Structure 1
């Protein structure tokens, strides 16, 4: 023992104090002895300083050794106390040991002094060991980790309460049992191998390894074991000690992170993450889709700013919008003309969003996530649609001017000839001209309604349906509305859609002169228009929306084609089916609804 030992020796005989100090100095490696002749003075010294051990005589004036011990214990219950007296007797020894003194010796020659020195050293070692154990025990209890001790025979010698809670067994069930109570055969074998490694001369002092603990009930619990051997001298191995840490939450978190990582790697869009704390906000992660889309490998992309994808024809306004969004720490989305590694251009829809250090919207931005979507095919279709719309506008102009004008002239001439001659054949010519004019009008409508709806607005479904009903020659047809709420649409084109569906139901729904009843109702993602007429044969439902298809003589067959064009322009889908009464039912789906319902209805 090399640490210094501070001893307080109380004896009313100064010569005994001097002799004892001399022997303690000789027998103990490092000792400091404070001698006092009065017990009261001894108590004062104990109150003013710290001592590792107290030696006291028994027979002293004013206060005997046991009274001194009891007074000492009122303030300090831990310091070792050795009664060293010249007035020894079995009665005093019995009283001293019953009182709880650490040791009892009668004064004598060198042999007794050597025994006293040995007992002082042992008492201090035991006291310090106990204090350290108490401190460590307090720390372990505060940490709440499961702790175990296995003796040299491989039997549990100690487990704490957290260990019992982890396994589901009472401590009494565990202590005295073997580790196979809570481990399978493979886990027991691995622990033995690990212990053997610690015991070897070249092995580590501590082994850390994963182990599944099998509780009394339930599934195995993934843990991490920190194992070491108990201190021992020579070759007498006394057992091992370990601390378990439940890593089930950690394992679940690791699995969740791995799932997210795979999701990022395998996402169908390019994903990048940048670190604004580094110079020039470089990319620190790119996924597989980004690599495939741009042609740049990870080693080329990670560590640089993503502007390397820009080129001579990249729109500077879009780049500025992204830069300003980053400065404002706000999300943004733009369409950029970027360039692959081989130089080929592609249209990239880039969306960025800040990653904050916590869920608070005001938290510091620790990164940026970017989503890249190759929209080259979409841009080509968009350009083709633009050219198509231009041709439709040209066609509409031709129809409106170059065809309608001579048609009006022909109609006027036929009307004059009919008035002058009264020829009945001219009636058929008038009907034919009316039909041509109807075809022209509906052709123009198709051209107009096919244009994409770019800025839909919230409209009241029931209100628009009711307005449309009032503009149609409804004859004696019945009308019911079972719809509520709003949807996003072009209100004028939505009215035209309803008008065409209402006319179609009135023209085709009457049976034996009985007027048809039409109902407008809600769908989960749209609406429907249904009637109680004869219905639509299933074999013709798919062809109803083609221009010129009609079941009525003299009808142009453009009504349902216009309905489909209006739906397509909104991004909706329309289909014909049967109503609950067996009549016709037209369902419009894929309809978006506003986040809030307007209160102006």
Structure 2
């Protein structure tokens, strides 16, 4: 044996103790012998230390060998106990064996001592093996892993309750059956091949491999099999033993991680992850879009700080803002002029956020999002130039046209007063109409600007304010809208004013007859008039609408309804709905005209953003 044997020998004759210890040292490979001359002292030693075998004399003062055996068994039921006595008799031997001692020997010469040593070694070996098995069994039970033993014919010889619970079969159903009961054919062949490698002379002692267990009911369970062979000597294989691990959650987590990894790799924006615990906070991950956007491959980007994308025209103020946020461990977003590997500049909207293991903990990493906004910046610059041209145009219209018109209007008024010529009335009306066209042209130019800052605006409140600003006569307003939108309040008010004016102008074609209620004596007590047109304003899933119950949109102007100069009324300039379209476009919305439920006109504004919630 390679493991040391601890022996406790009790005998009231010290010379016997010394002689036996000498033989134990000679005959046994590794042994430690503790000797005592009194049973009571031996019980004390047992309370203090553990032993692999006890050897005891029979005839001792105060307590004989069998009485000592009974005392030992009260607390140490499984420790081997060998009775070695000089007072041998068949009666004592019979009593000893019936009591359950491990061995019985009479004291004698060298041959008897050699037999005693051999029996002690054998008993200690069995005891240690059983102790080890019990420990392993306790550990496996505590772990709760499914365990199986298959004999040399491939038949289940043993399974524990955890194995039965995993498969859904009773232990009685499993023991005596083949693994094909809960495995498909390919899995059985795989296990046999794995077993073959263990049995080969140069193979591993243990094989670990995935296997799907098909339970009695339900879907297959992904597991990992840890297989080894049972101990055997020579070429007589006795079977295999295995432990299964249910890796369903592990597989689910792996699939989830793979999905997230794939989402990161294939995201339409550049994604980077950095490690602030390393010197200079280098990038530890970059996705495909980052590589595509910057021209740097992963080997060039991973391991360095992302400042290598900066160049001579990169705004230092934006860099400072980004640096301050990282030092404060706060999220931020900036727009930087970065440079690709080939030196080409591009505008990069960089957003960074700290990664924390818990809400209050320090940043253990940083995630960054890079979005190429070059086209957006170019459009923004184009819009800026367009707005400048519109300002120039408005200035020309306001100064170079209005001044001559004002002079002409004044002269016509003077001439009309002095001469009373009726023809001058028509000329004055024409000049007034030209003034209106100039105002609407200026409005159209102003509303064509892109919208800058927006704020949350209540559709109902703005619509009510707009209604009060328009001469609506006896028209009626019905508002069911409840939503708020992100908009420029003044321009949204102008949009509603033009739509309301359009409904009043084109919807009030007829006035409903009055209705009177008479008293008993025939006199009239009240008179009411139905509204000439009713305007309704309500919510859409992605916007809002304005509808009326007027005559609707004439077919002749439907296609060009939002074009400047198109009007269905003789007094109209045709700029109102064109302005509505420009305001909608400036917000990034769309406007569409259709028929209302009552046959009137309905204007739907869609693509409208709801206000974003403020984040503390």
TM norm structure 2 = 0.90
Give the equivalent residue in structure 2 for 1:101.
101
Distance 2:563 2:239 in 1: 88
Give the equivalent residue in structure 1 for 2:408.
410
Residues 167/539 of structure 1: CA separation in 2 closer, same or farther (3 Å cut):
farther
Counterpart of 1:428 (choices 404, 426, 429) is: 426
- 1:519 has 2:539 as partner: no
Distance 1:583 1:110 in 2: 125
Larger CA deviation: 92-101 vs 571-580:
92-101
> Is the 8 Å Cα contact of residues 53 and 81 (structure 1) preserved in structure 2?
yes
Give the equivalent residue in structure 1 for 2:373.
375
Larger CA deviation: 96-105 vs 293-302:
96-105
Distance apart, 1:500 and its partner CA? 0.8
Distance 2:319 2:349 in 1: 12
Distance apart, 1:61 and its partner CA? 4.4
- 1:567 has 2:584 as partner: yes
Give secondary structure in 2 for the equivalent of 1:325. helix
Give the equivalent residue in structure 2 for 1:137.
137
- 1:7 has 2:24 as partner: no
Give the equivalent residue in structure 2 for 1:506.
504
Distance 2:219 2:22 in 1: 65
Deviations 1:366-387 (A, max 9, x none): 2222222222222221111111
Deviations 1:180-226 (A, max 9, x none): 12211111111111111111111111111111112212221222222
Residues 341/3 of structure 1: CA separation in 2 closer, same or farther (3 Å cut):
closer
Distance 1:543 1:132 in 2: 94
Distance 2:35 2:203 in 1: 48
> Is the 8 Å Cα contact of residues 495 and 579 (structure 2) preserved in structure 1?
yes
Give the equivalent residue in structure 2 for 1:184.
184
Distance 1:410 1:496 in 2: 30
Distance 2:56 2:37 in 1: 10
Distance 1:448 1:593 in 2: 24
Larger CA deviation: 429-438 vs 395-404:
429-438
Distance 1:335 1:445 in 2: 33
Residues 101/338 of structure 1: CA separation in 2 closer, same or farther (3 Å cut):
same
Give the equivalent residue in structure 2 for 1:555.
572
Give the equivalent residue in structure 2 for 1:78.
78
Distance apart, 1:124 and its partner CA? 0.8
> Is the 8 Å Cα contact of residues 271 and 371 (structure 1) preserved in structure 2?
yes
Residues 14/378 of structure 1: CA separation in 2 closer, same or farther (3 Å cut):
closer
Distance 1:257 1:51 in 2: 52
Larger CA deviation: 450-459 vs 9-18:
9-18
- 1:196 has 2:196 as partner: yes
Distance 2:397 2:477 in 1: 36
Deviations 1:219-249 (A, max 9, x none): 2122222222222233332222222222222
Give the equivalent residue in structure 1 for 2:546.
529
Distance 1:544 1:129 in 2: 97
Deviations 1:70-106 (A, max 9, x none): 2112222232112344566676556544544333445
Distance 1:36 1:316 in 2: 88
> Is the 8 Å Cα contact of residues 226 and 242 (structure 1) preserved in structure 2?
yes
Give the equivalent residue in structure 2 for 1:385.
383
Cα RMSD of the aligned pairs, angstroms, is: 2.4
Give the equivalent residue in structure 1 for 2:526.
none
Give secondary structure in 2 for the equivalent of 1:557. coil
Distance apart, 1:589 and its partner CA? 2.3
Give secondary structure in 2 for the equivalent of 1:453. coil
Give secondary structure in 1 for the equivalent of 2:591. strand
Larger CA deviation: 88-97 vs 320-329:
88-97
Residues 90/485 of structure 1: CA separation in 2 closer, same or farther (3 Å cut):
farther
Residues 517/242 of structure 1: CA separation in 2 closer, same or farther (3 Å cut):
same
Distance apart, 1:516 and its partner CA? 0.9
Give the equivalent residue in structure 2 for 1:51.
51
Distance 1:587 1:207 in 2: 69
Instruction: Please show how residues 448-459 of structure 1 align to structure 2 within 5 Å.
Output: 448-459=446-457
Residues 4/304 of structure 1: CA separation in 2 closer, same or farther (3 Å cut):
closer
> Is the 8 Å Cα contact of residues 542 and 576 (structure 1) preserved in structure 2?
no
Larger CA deviation: 101-110 vs 469-478:
101-110
Instruction: Please show how residues 580-599 of structure 1 align to structure 2 within 5 Å.
Output: 580-595=597-612
Counting matched residue pairs gives 595
Larger CA deviation: 396-405 vs 328-337:
328-337
Distance 1:292 1:420 in 2: 79
Unmatched segments (≥5 aa) in structure 1: none
> Is the 8 Å Cα contact of residues 11 and 57 (structure 1) preserved in structure 2?
yes
